[in-house]
Structure 1
Amino acid sequence: MRKILVPTDFSANALNALEYAIALFKYDISEFFIMHAYRDDIYAKELNVTRDTLTEVTNMVANKSKEQLDIILAHVNKMSPNPRHTYKVVSSNNILVDEADKIVDKENIDIIVMGTRGFTNDRNITFGSHTLQVFKYVQCPVLVIPENYKYKKPKHILFPTNYLIPYKRRELKLLCEMACPYRALIDMLYISASGVLSVRQKDNRNFIKTELRKNDLNFKTVKSKNIPVTINNYVEDNNIDMLVMVNNKHTVLEDLIVQSTIDKMSLFLNIPFLVLQNVNRESL
């Protein structure tokens, strides 16, 4: 069974991410955990909160959270009455990143799906602060969906890599099983000034071939020093439906998820972005 965590702040972006996840995994027996962590909502009302009223405000926010989750649950059951899918709602007096981390460990979550931004929706940034925190601190693959992105089958997937990382079997299996139902083509893009692979890189590439053997793979090499611009151009020129990258120390993604760097490099994504975390977790 696929286990999917979908955090929500009840924004249109969060609902859109949930609807995308339901459509993407329509062929899988899946359990969705729709989670709202509301501690920030309590202290957002800090001008009205005192020690004497904290309990009252907390109860008010908690009740509102549960009511809104019930509305979402009714919506998804009506929108997609898929017998393969079951839904659980989680309302928690916690901050989002901590609650996500807790549920990932407790339920052995396979993937987190969330919007790029929530209610703050600052159009001058690519990822909101909560999304960045989940990228950096929760040890689970994260699929982020851009604002207003309408679901389309992921037929063409881009996976830029330097082949230096010893990839995790569980995460490659997730990608394989996401792509298979759609007969997606996965472009493995190696961006390098020289274009030459070391023995280590060749071994890692062969491991990818083995783990993604059920998929159609297209191994590409582009000679370039400007990796973000090359990725952006490739996405636009090849009608890419989903971008996949690995978050690991000393990788390009580690630099890209620092917000100021993203903005400077102009990697503004308008397609779903799957971030693999390259961590050891319990096998599927």
Structure 2
Amino acid sequence: MNVLVLTDLSEVAKNAGSYAVQFLADIPAHFFLLNIKLFHPDQPETDFDNKTRDLALGKLQQRVSELKELSANKEHRFSVIYSESDLVGATRKFVEEKKIDLIVMGAANKLHSPNTIIGNHTYEVITKIKCNILAVAENSRYRIPRRMVFPIDYGVSLEHQNLRFLQRPQIAQNAGITVVELGCETETARPESLFFDQLHNRQIETKQMPTSEAFSEGQLKVLQQDFDMILLLGKNINICGELLHTEQGLYSRVANELPILVLHQ
């Protein structure tokens, strides 16, 4: 598996990288640590010279050393990349060039809210790049995923390829999935068979919930207590917006400690 870790060399990004190495502990993986010029907005343009790039690469190598110590998998490899392109352009380039299976990002935006999981950078990548993305909240601490919650609605077509990442051996393989069907008050068809057919090796339960009740502080508290990870479909724009929008989403107002895995085709 090829993993692109976007890092601004902050503690939030450091936590995300550590989480990813532990999450993929049993999987052969090549981690590419990418530092982008955009992540240094306070530094004057003239300061971005070879010295700055070398300093960033040096810090990335130091981070690689820390991740190697954390990893017990001899099939984990690490490389560093520095780019002066824009965030989306650089990320898209290396997703294609390195055949990336998963993007990993820290998710925090101190300037917007001290509690938000989702910052401008993370939301932009989720909505503009079709690659599986693991957004790790600042306060997320790795624990073996046992229960994952998967909200879906009837406004999007569900296709087999959306679940390919979860079909990989050793991806949270012992974790059960609770599928929360939203909008069920107006529909009779239920897509649960898709999950039973494609994720036959997992324990899956299905619950129904009116959309009006789903995105609330009360529900968030329940998620924190009962689950280890949130699953989303990248094409499920309505749900992603309700949860992750940088200004209007639930997680821009309320603290969250659960990592979010966004699945794309």
The match for 1:232 among 210, 217, 220 is: 220
- Tell me the CA shift for residue 151 of structure 1: 0.6
> Is residue 2:43 matched to residue 1:45?
yes
Q: Does 1:30 align with 2:15?
A: no
- Give how far 1:92 is off: 1.3
More deviation, 219-228/11-20: 219-228
Residue number in structure 1 paired with 2:7: 8
Does the 8 Å CA contact 1:39/1:93 hold for their aligned counterparts?
yes
Q: Which residue of 2 aligns with 1:145?
A: 136
Q: What is the deviation of 1:20? A: 0.6
SS of equivalent to 1:261: coil
Task: State the match for 1:213 in structure 2.
Answer: 200
SS in 2 for 1:10: coil
Partner deviation per Cα, 1:126-178 (whole Å, 9 max, x = no partner): 31111111111111111111113211011000001124433343441212337
TM-aligned CA distance change 1:150 to 1:162, over 3 Å = same
Match of 1:222 in 2: 209
Identical aligned residues as a percent = 21
Structure 1: how far apart are the matches of 2:244 and 2:188?
A: 26
Q: Where in structure 2 are the equivalents of 1:119-268 lying within 5 Å?
A: 122-123=113-114, 125-177=116-168, 181-192=172-183, 194=185, 196-198=187-189, 202=190, 204-223=191-210, 225-229=212-216, 231-236=219-224, 239-248=226-235, 250-263=237-250, 266=253, 268=255
SS in 2 for 1:132: helix
Query: Offset at 1:119?
Result: 7.4
CA contact (8 A) 1:172 1:211 kept: yes
Contact 1:188 1:218 in 2 (8 A): yes
SS in 2 for 1:83: coil
Q: Give the Cα separation in 2 of the matches to 1:144 and 1:30.
A: 18
Figure out how many residues of one structure are paired with residues of the other and give that number. Answer: 264
Structure 2 residues not aligned, in runs of 5+: none
- Give the secondary-structure state (helix, strand or coil) at the position aligned to 1:218: strand
Instruction: Identify if the C-alpha distance between structure 1 residues 252 and 81 changes in structure 2 by more than 3 Å, giving closer, same or farther.
Output: closer
- Contact 1:111–1:142, Cα closer than 8 Å, also in 2: yes
Shift of 1:31: 1.1
**Retained in 2: the 8 A contact 1:247–1:254?**
no
Q: Post-superposition shift, 1:206?
A: 2.2
Distance 1:5 1:194 in 2: 40
Which structure has the larger Rg? Answer: 1
> Aligned to 1:194, what secondary structure does the other structure show?
helix
Change (3 A) 1:192 1:57: closer
> CA, structure 1 residues 264+99, in 2 after alignment: closer, same or farther (shift >3 Å)?
closer
Give yes or no for the alignment of 1:116 onto 2:107.
yes
Return 23-32 or 90-99, whichever deviates more. 90-99
Return the offset for 1:249: 6.2
Letter in 2 for 1:252: I
Tell me if structure 2 keeps the 8 A contact 1:180–1:214.
Answer: no
| Contact 1:97–1:134 (CA under 8 A) maintained in structure 2 | yes
The match for 2:54 is 63
Which amino acid in structure 2 is aligned with residue 147 of structure 1? E
Which moves more between the two structures, 122-131 or 163-172?
163-172
Q: Which runs of 5+ in 1 are unaligned?
A: 280-284
- CA distance in 1 between partners of 2:187 and 2:236 (Å): 22
Whole-Å separation in 2 of the counterparts to 1:206 and 1:146? 31
Task: State the TM-score, normalizing by the size of structure 2.
Answer: 0.88
